[in-house]
Every structure is written in structure tokens, then in C-alpha cells.
Structure 1
Amino acid sequence: MLWGQYIERAVRGKKKSASEIERIGSKFILPRFGDRLADTITRSEVTLLVEDITYRDPERPTPRAGLGVHQQLSSFFTWAMPKLEKLPGNPCRDAGRPPHPKARDRFLSNAEIRIFWHACDVLEWPFGPGFQLLLLTGQRRGELFDASRSEFDGDTWVIPAARAKNGKAHIVPLSKVARALIDALPSMEGSVKLFPVAGNPDGSVNGFSKGHPRLLREMGKLMKVEAVDHFILHDLRRTLATGMQRLGVPMPVTEAVLNHISGSRSGIAGVYQRYDYQRDKREALELWSAELELIVGHPLTLNIGAKPE
């Protein structure tokens, strides 16, 4: 199958997003086109696939998901075109796709942060402590949940370049609360993963499509409302950044915490500015941890819950 060749020859070991590309292929592309010859797929069929993914829930469209599928399918056809004599051109080129969504500006209010923390205690392992760590550290979901224990050394977490979104190794100083939470996470015999999958020591937990909605439901129960104002896990990074801004943390330090190569750390400034902000990042993350304790109203609880077998 040509998609399998593409994954083996052009994706695995060559692209940082290999696991995400394979996930998109398995979940969206192969169920629709897996039994088809690549040179028989038309742009109207690509359009229909992207629309089906984008508007699965008409009340809550997911244009990023549709755009992601379109992008990966287009990359596949770009790679495959030299092998497809009958196909006149990349069918994704003129296929319909949703417009790029507006930049998000959602962050959690102090009241929402307090409820979020308690809802995570209800969730227990793995998503409860995992989501709390996302808020404490400001790192990306994939960088945390796919982490190996070898990346952690005392109060420091080093995300290797191969797993960092921008391809640059990232040092994350751990606040006392974050370190205590990580130290309390259960380990599984034979697995090096921070969040291992029971029965699969080489795998990391997934299931966010169920874990995140459950978080929102638990928050709704605690807030006594039918539905929480929707947010995604990536918005926790913006919540940290907004909180640090409120606490007076300089923007370059916040960007360094988030491993952003943008704003004050991009372009010519980034070439000549080599200061790594390690001490500043540690102070900022401890300050943020203390702020979270004030918001939650008491020392941050660590309810790890059920352990993997």
C-alpha cells in the first residue's frame, strides 16, 4: 500500500511529527481511502473528507482538524506523484478546505483555575495529574504525556530536541509542586514512560478525546452549570503566560518557559541573544506555582489515584 510506503520511507525517523501523521492517517485517511488506488482519488472526494471532519459537530466545527488532514494528505500526494502516472496533479491542491481559524485568546480565569484543579483531583491518574502538570509547567500536551522518566533529573526536565515542537532541546525547571507531583506518579515495571499504558510498556497514554470532555464535565458539576465555557488543553499554556504577565514576569522569560522562538527571541535578536534564562525561568515557575496555591485557596493537593498495572 502506497500510504504504508510513505510512512516508512518519508515519515518515520525523518519527521518530528511522525506519530501525529500516523495518527491522522489511521483515524481519518485510511478508513476513507485505505482500499483505494491513490491515482483514483479525486479532489471532490478530498473536499468531502475534509468537510466531514471539520463539520462532524455542526455546532462546534473543528477547522484545525480538517486543515490537518488536508495538509497530511497533500504531503502524501506530493511524495507519491512521481509514482502515479495516471494522476494529472495533486488532488489536494484545488480541493476545498476550511479557512484558517482566528488565533485563540482563551485562558482560564482564577475561578476556573480553582475548579480545574479540583476537577483534576476527581479525574485521578493519568489525566488528573497530567493536566495539572500542564498548567504548572506550561508545556505542550505531547511533550508531557510522551515523556520518558530519563528526561527528569531532580528538579529539572529536559525535553530532547527530537520531541520539542521547534526542534530545540528545552530545559524546564520544575517547581517544588511540579517535582512532587512527578515523583508521586506511579511507574510500571518494564516501562520507561512517565505515563505508560497498562499492558504496553513502550506506549504512552492517549485517549484525550475522552479525558478532556470528562474534565469539562467534572468542572461543570463543581461549577453547577450545564456546560463550561469551552477550552482546549493548549489554552493552559496561554493561562500560564497570562498569569506570568500579571505577576510581572518579563515577556522574554515567559517565552523561554514556553520554548517559543518568536517575539523577542526571533529573527536577528534570536541570533545574538544567547542567554538561556535558566535562573529566571525557575524563579518564574516557582512564582506561578505560588500564585496557583493562592488561587486554589490552599496548598496544591496531589491526588494521583489509580495506578497502572
Structure 2
Amino acid sequence: MQVKISKTQVDRMTAGQILADKEVKGFVARKLDSGAVTYGYRYRDKMTGKQRWLGLGLHGNITADKARDLAKKAAGEVANKQDPVAEIEEARAEAKREKAAAVNTVNSVIDAFIKRHASNLRSADQIEHAFDAYVRKPLGAKSIYDVKRSEIVTMLDGVEDEAGPVMADRVLAHVRKAFNWQAARDDEFKSPIVRGMARTKPKERARKRALTDEEIRDVWKALESAEVPVCYPRYVKSLLVTATRRNESSEMNSAEIDGDLWTIPGARYKTKLDHVVPLTDQAKALIGAKPEGFKGNSWFVFSTTEGKRPFSGFSKAKKDLDAEIAKIRKADKRDAMPRWTLHDLRRTARSLMSRAKVPADHAERVLGHVIGGVRETYDRYEYLDEKRDALEKLAGLIELILKPRADNVVQFAEAAK
């Protein structure tokens, strides 16, 4: 029914009735079953041909004349090949994006990623350190929707300059996972990370660094004088004498030790299987006694909280240790020690076992590596004597390295029998 829409006409409407205005084509009033009357403008988008409905307001909140004026304005926009509904939708989407941008900063995404995902990983502390050391300062305050590829590249340049290309790639991997995690739950976010940002090739990232005898002596000497937590020297030495990984040793708990056997539970071991490490006298000397005043039944062996929590201040302690090594070598007028990591001690232990004539299979079992061809049924105590012998020979060689003598060759020959 075409009439001039007015308050009088609207007040006479019945539920479900629609009035079309005779002055402005497309301007209508519609009475809903609820009794409310809504004004609107109907038109076809000239680009797509789709029919559109532009709500103009509810009767009572807006007058019929005011609604007609809005309909005229919309008709003029449509005549100019504009789409009023699309413009409103885009404005709303932009407002939504702006609101999300204010909340979803890189820092907030990192925090959520760590809490909901990374905290469950064995490498959680390494991931968090990478974010804290290299990502938060340059990008943390930015909205994730505004992070550009060039900014990622600039950040990685800084990491490479400070810590090398391998670390840059590790940071890239952590950021990529965090951004992909966010993209999976955010319709508006698209990660700016693309292929080609890595600084090394996979084969180049595989480290082969093993410390020389001189470097081992430097590390041991620096541990005696470096300003590091009391547990740190024992902890670092344990990495070499037990050939374990960083977190495996740092999280050593007294409950895992039975006599001269340390069983690393599969829940925190890379292979997901229990791994038994025979403890040499050298290793047992590093474990120490129950912390004074500790009331529990089990405690963390390497701890700055009297056994309550495992040691975790890796970054600062390592920097202090490196500074002490540099000081020692400078005093001796020697070149600076090449960059090394705590994991290099595990690789060094493997190298030393080869020097001590430990059979390759036995040395690999000490490291917890899977040996091809072994039976599928796993026995945690399998090859225990062989592993004990390998670690005893490793301990003997370490002693000879730390206390070099002219008759080292003879001494080692006897120890290796």
C-alpha cells in the first residue's frame, strides 16, 4: 500500500502490515508482531543487483519525516553507485578491529600463548626467555594487526647481531607458532611471517660444537669465582658428567634418585621413556645433601629456593659465567672463548666418551638415543652395566683433563682398561 508515511498512518497500522511511501521510492514502514514499527529503505545494489535493507530507526525514537529525510539521502547515495549498507558494515567492522587492536597487542598475545599453550611444553622457559629477551621490547606494545613483515625482519636482524643466526631462527620459530596460534582463533588476524625470513638452513642450524680440554678447564675455573647462584656450578658440571640435557638436570629431584641410579621420568624426557643414569662418584658429589630446614620428603637438587623449585635463571647465570671466562682468558692474554651453550656440554660428553674408547652404541645409550634394531619391549635397566662403565670412563677422562700431568697418557691407558 502506497501512502505518504506519517504518524497518523503509522498509528493505524496492524501487525505485519507494510506501508510504502509514495514520495520516496523504497522508503517503507513495517509493523512487527511485537507492535513496534520500524522505518527502512529498500534498494538494489547497482554493482551486485542484490536487494538491500537499510534500517532507519524505530517509530518513537525517530519521526516519520526524519526517517523520510534519511531515506532521501540514502537514495542519493545509491544513485551515485554507493552502497549505504556496505558502508555501515565496513564502519562497524573497522570499529571492531580497532577495539580488538587495543586489546590484542603482541604482548597480550604472547601472554595468552604462553599460558594456554607453551606452559605445557618442556621448552616453556626457553620460549618465554626468547620472547622476553628479543620480542617484547621491539614489538610488544604494537597491535598484532599492525605488525609488518619489515618489522619482523628488523627484529630478527637485531637478534642475529646480538646472539647469532641460529638464535634468530629460534626466535622466528617461537613467534611464528604464537602468531599461527592467534590466527587460528582470530578471524581478523593474518600472520605477517612468510617463507624466506629464516637466517640459516636446517643443516646449518645443527650445532656441532664440543668444548676443547682448555675450554673445559676454563669453564670449571670460572665457576669457582663467577658471581652466580650457589647451585649453578654444581648444575653446570652435572651436564657434562651425566651427559644430560639442560632441563633434565635442572629439574633433578631427590625422589628420582635411588642409590647410585637416577631415573629421569618419561614425562620430562625427550623420548617419553624413563631414562636411567648411573651416578658416578663424580656425579654424586655434585648432588649434595638435603637443604637445611627443608621439611618435605623430596626436593629439587639444583635450586635457589632451598629445594622448593628447580633452578631456572639460565640466562643471567650464563652471562655472568661467560663474563668470568672472558676475564680469565684476557688475564692470560688468550683469545676470547668462542660462543658456546650449555647443551654443548652434552655434545662434549659424547665426544669424550669416544676418546675414552666407549663403544658407540653404549655412548648413544648414555645419551638416551634410540638404537636402531633393538627389540621393541623397553627395559629401563637394559645395558645398565654398559652405561655405568661408559660414565666411569667419562669421569676418568674429565679428571685427567682438569688435572693434566705429563703422564696423562699412561694414567688414562690404565683407567680405560
The reply to whether TM is greater than 0.5 is yes
Matched ranges for 1:1-309 at <5 A: 1-13=108-120, 15-56=121-162, 61-87=163-189, 89-94=190-195, 96-100=197-201, 101=204, 103-123=206-226, 125-183=230-288, 189=294, 192-198=299-305, 201-206=308-313, 207-217=316-326, 219-220=328-329, 224-261=333-370, 265-266=371-372, 269=373, 272=376, 274=378, 276-297=382-403
Please state whether the residue corresponding to 2:210 is helix, strand or coil.
coil
Q: Aligned-pair distance for 1:78?
A: 1.4
Matched residues in 2 for 1:116 and 1:82: separation? 45
Do the aligned residues in 1 keep the contact of 2:278 with 2:387 (CA within 8 Å)? Answer: yes
Do the aligned residues in 2 keep the contact of 1:121 with 1:129 (CA within 8 Å)? Answer: no
Q: Aligned-pair distance for 1:274?
A: 4.6
* Structure 1 pair 153–217 and aligned structure 2 pair: CA distance change class (3 A): farther
Matched residues in 1 for 2:205 and 2:342: separation? 17
Percent identity, please. 28
Please state whether the residue corresponding to 1:86 is helix, strand or coil.
coil
Please state whether the residue corresponding to 1:55 is helix, strand or coil.
helix
Do the aligned residues in 2 keep the contact of 1:148 with 1:193 (CA within 8 Å)? Answer: yes
Matched residues in 2 for 1:54 and 1:75: separation? 19
Matched residues in 2 for 1:158 and 1:219: separation? 37
Count how many residue pairs are aligned between Structure 1 and Structure 2: 287
Letter matched to residue 146 of structure 1: E
Q: Which residue of 2 aligns with 1:303?
A: none
Letter matched to residue 263 of structure 2: V
Q: Give 1 or 2 for the bigger CA radius of gyration.
A: 2
Q: Aligned-pair distance for 1:178?
A: 0.8
Matched residues in 1 for 2:167 and 2:183: separation? 24
1:150-208 CA-partner distances (Å, limit 9, x unpaired): 22222111222232234333211111111122125856736822222258943524123
Q: Which residue of 2 aligns with 1:304?
A: none
* Structure 1 pair 272–32 and aligned structure 2 pair: CA distance change class (3 A): same
Matched residues in 2 for 1:279 and 1:203: separation? 29
* Structure 1 pair 222–255 and aligned structure 2 pair: CA distance change class (3 A): farther
1:267-294 CA-partner distances (Å, limit 9, x unpaired): xx25648563221111110111122223
1:95-143 CA-partner distances (Å, limit 9, x unpaired): 6221133543332333443444344334483332222222211111222
* Structure 1 pair 200–238 and aligned structure 2 pair: CA distance change class (3 A): closer
Matched residues in 2 for 1:168 and 1:219: separation? 41
Q: Aligned-pair distance for 1:48?
A: 1.4
Q: Which residue of 1 aligns with 2:76?
A: none
Do the aligned residues in 2 keep the contact of 1:127 with 1:211 (CA within 8 Å)? Answer: no
Please state whether the residue corresponding to 1:85 is helix, strand or coil.
coil
Q: Aligned-pair distance for 1:221?
A: 5.9
Do the aligned residues in 2 keep the contact of 1:154 with 1:179 (CA within 8 Å)? Answer: no
Please state whether the residue corresponding to 1:36 is helix, strand or coil.
coil
Which structure 1 segments of 5+ residues have no match?
Answer: 299-309
Q: Aligned-pair distance for 1:76?
A: 1.3
Please state whether the residue corresponding to 1:202 is helix, strand or coil.
coil
Please state whether the residue corresponding to 1:167 is helix, strand or coil.
coil
1:50-109 CA-partner distances (Å, limit 9, x unpaired): 1111112xxxx512211111111111121111333333x421123622113354333233
Letter matched to residue 92 of structure 1: I
Do the aligned residues in 1 keep the contact of 2:113 with 2:181 (CA within 8 Å)? Answer: yes
Matched residues in 2 for 1:96 and 1:31: separation? 20
Alignment root-mean-square deviation, CA:
2.9
1:240-296 CA-partner distances (Å, limit 9, x unpaired): 1112112221111111111223xxx25xx2564856322111111011112222333
Matched residues in 2 for 1:294 and 1:243: separation? 11
Query: Greater shift after overlay, 1-10 or 108-117?
Result: 108-117
Q: Given the two structures, how large is their TM-score scaled by the length of structure 1?
A: 0.80
Please state whether the residue corresponding to 2:277 is helix, strand or coil.
strand
Do the aligned residues in 2 keep the contact of 1:44 with 1:95 (CA within 8 Å)? Answer: no
Please state whether the residue corresponding to 1:157 is helix, strand or coil.
strand
Q: Aligned-pair distance for 1:235?
A: 2.0
* Structure 1 pair 72–188 and aligned structure 2 pair: CA distance change class (3 A): farther
Letter matched to residue 96 of structure 1: M
Please state whether the residue corresponding to 2:117 is helix, strand or coil.
helix
Which structure 2 segments of 5+ residues have no match?
Answer: 1-107, 405-417
* Structure 1 pair 203–111 and aligned structure 2 pair: CA distance change class (3 A): closer
Relative CO higher for 1 or 2, CA cutoff 8 Å, sep ≥ 6?
Answer: 1
